Chain A
Amino acid sequence: MSVSGRASRAGSSLGHGLIPYGLIPYGQGRARGLDAAALGTHGFQMDELISLGLPTVAGLTVPVADAESLTDPDLAMAAVELLQQLAGRRLAHGERPMLVRLTASAPVPVAGLPPDLPVVGLAPHNRDAVMKVIARDRVLHEVWGTMLRSIGEHGLGVAGAAMDDLMFDVTDPCEQVPALLELIAAEAQAPFPDDPAGQLAVAARAMLARWQTPRAKRARRTQKLPADLPLALHVQALVLGPWDLSGFGTATSRDPETGAFRPTGTFYRGVRRSAPRPPRPEDLSAVPGGAGLLESALLTLEQHFAAPAALDFELRDGELALLSARPERAAGLAAVRLAVDLVNAGARAERAAVRQVRPADVQELLHPQLRLTGTETELVRGLPASAGAACGEMVLSSDAAVSRAAEGVPVVLVATETTPADLPGLLASAGVITAAGGLASHAAVVARGVGVPAVCGAGGLRIDAASGTATAGDRTLCEGDMVALDGRTGAVYTGQVEISAARPPRELETVLGWADTLRKLGVRANADTGRDARTAVELGAEGIGLCRTEHQFLGERLPLIRRVILAADPEAERRALDALAEAQREDFRELLRGTGSRPVTVRLLDAPMHEFLPAPGRAGDAEAEERAEELREANPMLGVRGVRLALLHDRLYPAQAEALFGAWLDVRAEGVEPELEVMIPLVSLPEELTAAARQVRAAAEAVAARAGIDVSAVPYRIGSMVETPRAALLAGELARTAQFLSFGTNDLTQLTYGFSRDDVERRVLEPYVAGGLLAASPFERLDADGVGALIEIAVQRARAVRPDIKLGLCGEHGGDPASIELCDRLGLDYVSCSPGRVPVARLAAAQATCAAQEGRTP
């Protein structure tokens, strides 16, 4: 071995020879005290895989400090010699020849590394010998041509555009290679080397130069990595074998659909390369010897990473060698299943599993889905192109979609495929179905871009625009017929199908059960109806934190409440209220039955006056018209609302409270005992609360008297919403009357900032967030500095007066993980969110508790 310069200094032994300085065989870096900083992530990982007992490809690393010296043909020669010893094969020699693959890695994981140079050592004089083994001319020449193109530009200074033009005009790869070699010989100072060491040296130069191109530097910049991040080079043996026993591929440990352990991946025959794209992939069953070969490696890696594992492998003569391995980002069901599997295997504690699952994974599993009853007719099945479910009238053109949607009708756009001209229709539709095109089709890309559920490539669907029909099998739908789709499964159904929150899968229940044992913060749900309450309880809510009674007054009951407000005299008002009472009592019974024997917070009427007033000229008679006119407000959200309305119409809250207490007695007779909490909205004066509480107490006494029982047999708590900054500041005063306080953070945010949410959301908050003035909309993430400070003051003052006061938060913030974490820190007792967010809130609350105990942010 002829070695010169620094390469000859030193070395350790391999077999009988000496290893030149600067060449570290895979598996030997650790022993020399080298880590990823020297070996690059790939070299370090090869050490790791070998120490786990896994088979790896034969190869060596030229560490960061020595990478440049591989451009010296002498060290390159030494590398080739060493590689031949490690692989036990000779370069391009005999029946089982080998070539050399040069790859690179950096001390940290980075995207945008130079592509592999996969067939170093291949030359016109040994071409035929190599071809004889793998017997695939075109594949080999494509790889060869691409490598020459890259080395030509970055290693030999030939203009990239000249080679691109050549490759554009000479399309046959077998002709490209000689033409490229000719061009390089003419344009570069020296012809492309024939000998392996010479090629490896120039390949190393190309790879290091490619790392310094503007493109590679941009990739580092976008990843916030230093521009001078160094490279380690890796020289691997490309052991050639017959086509039918050789190939390469990637495998992951988990089934992407179900999250169950099942090696899944792709297998390609031939020589491994990244560009041009490899030939048609087969699945792992095509691996000579079967996918089982990969199972034990994937299991070992999964336990090692505590994450789903992915690996790149190569197969020569049926022998497996790993090229790389990495933890996969687990998402959705796979993440949850893995967390449970690792706990069951004893590899993780429950607490770690709870911390590992992300709230977004939970939400993803609770995407709206079709509520199937089993009687639906499946029309056709396509590819699940954009998640979510939709149901609406079938429309066959973008035009029809726009027109029908403008009339407020939910529509599903059905088309053979879509083009940019269909964009308005896509935007107007609740869902999209296409007959042609795949997951990357225009319709799929656009639907995901705008969050519209889509099923694409439903091949059995034939669309006839002329007759306005879509046909699948023997079933024909006409434009205007109802159609439903599930963008997660790809199924399309005919007819009306209800859409609802998904039921959590079993593994999620398990993780949430663990979360419940860890969290301090209670989780309740906002529910206005018995159905909502049942859903919330099914999803794990401990009670109802907010029932908005407004809906009892809208819809068909609007005329009744209108009569209350516009009543000419107290008698007319009383009659109108009586008419409302029985309907309300029925609503409350449903709610309480749905809640069961759990706490339930019922907020008495809180709607702005204008929602009850008739349109001008619609009041009925001139007198009522006049009263309505007097009641119209310039700013209804800050006008006669909540407790203010109740104090002006002092029969309103008693009527509601009586209906509620009556309903409670009804359901108690059925064996259900909800813990009633009566909440007064929009309080800003403690005196308002006192007055409203007096009305509620009187109502309880009236109900008890009518039932002939003692009032103590109708247990309830009275509390106040904290929605105005004044209420927050006077929480101590409120606590003299209130047994609980609930922060209504939507209004509290509006009033603290002086934002009208409807007006500022698009026109102010979006640009503020885009411009960096705000990190997030304060309506989505509770503002810790302003609103949070008010809550903190309120918590202190309220607890000083009444230490056992219950403190909660109701509103959208109750389902946002970051806001939940803040609530935990502020010491609230519970959050209340929409029923669909309950599982997320349970997980986020547990993560907040863990984070607080460990003194970090989740």
Chain B
Amino acid sequence: MPALPATGSVGRSATPLAEDFAAELVELAVRGMRRGPATPQLEALAAQGFAVLKGPLAMPTPRGTELAGEMLRLPSGSAEEQRVRALYETFLPINRRLRDVCTAWQCHPDGSANDHSDAAYDAAVRDDLDDVHEAVAPVLRRLAPVLPRTGGYLTRLEAALERLDDGDHSWLASPMFDSYHTVWMHLHQELLLALGVSRAEDAELEERLVAETRDAG
């Protein structure tokens, strides 16, 4: 196992990790887990207590998540933070719509499982997904100059759409690979880490923003 190299620097704050290790840790924290054979970087992260390896799975430890958060965190009170914060607040109501689309894809409104035998139903949900995608695209376009790592999300979302349109239903909401929902969750997690927002704050804010949209008028 390679030893961890001496201090390097990546992202915004000084870190005790060299660039590729830092990038690996950030990726792990954003994804929540990785599946597949452990890389030397992952093994090194595990040795340092930043990750745990369980069979084919790698997960960040709380320390690892914390460190990744520090690396992604935008300076508090900075113009960048304010910009991303505004975009994040636009993102949240769209986030709710995406989750509703995933739910509709998995279940009919009566709660029964969607077995994808009704092409018109699926096409209607797929059409709603286009609305969601159209709504999130301007957010991502504005996000990329401020948070360079987010530049790839639009492409990854579109790759999932392409697989979905090739006829594999699982590319919308399956948690097992980089489906539309999975990529979206990574984006969401990255925003939370960049802004230092907890999941609880996030849920509360989303609820409030969605309610405001509804109550307006």
Contacts and interface: CB of A to CB of B under 8 A. Distances in A.
Contacts of B130: 215
Contacts of B127: 111-112, 215, 219
A420 B189 contact: yes
Contacts of A334: 110
Nearest to B60: A421
A338 to B, nearest CB: 12
Interface string B136-154: 0010001000000000000
B118 A329 contact: yes
B106 A448 contact: yes
A489 to B, nearest CB: 12
Nearest to A276: B213
A823 B60 CA distance: 53
B111 A165 contact: no
Contacts of B32: 419-423
Interface residues of B, number: 58
A223 B175 contact: no
Contacts of B57: 402, 424
Contacts of A450: 175-176
A218 B123 CA distance: 9
Contacts of A256: 109-111
A420 B186 contact: yes
Range for the number of chain A residues in contact with chain B: 35 or more
B120 A436 contact: no
Interface string A400-427: 0010000000000000110111111010
Given A384-B111, A419-B189, A445-B102, A436 B119 contact: no
Interface string B103-138: 100111111110100111111101100110010001
A137 B203 contact: no
B59 A424 contact: yes
A462 B33 CA distance: 26
Contacts of B60: 421
B66 to A, nearest CB: 13
Contacts of A168: 90, 138, 142
A110 B120 contact: yes
B173 interface: yes
Interface of B is mostly: helix
Interface in A106-164: 109-112, 136-140, 142, 161, 164
Interface string A148-189: 000000000000010011001000000000000000000000
Nearest to A439: B103
A280 B217 contact: no
A419 B96 CA distance: 15
A416 B203 CA distance: 11
A747 to B, nearest CB: 30
A417 B203 contact: yes
Contacts of B108: 329, 331
B119 A224 contact: yes
B1 interface: no
A279 interface: yes
A441 interface: yes
A440 interface: yes
A332 interface: yes
A442 interface: yes
A223 B119 contact: yes
Contacts of A110: 120, 123
Given A270-B217, A275-B131, A331-B110, A421 B123 contact: no
Given A111-B122, A111-B124, A442-B99, 4 more contacts: A138-B216, A279-B215, A399-B59, A417-B203
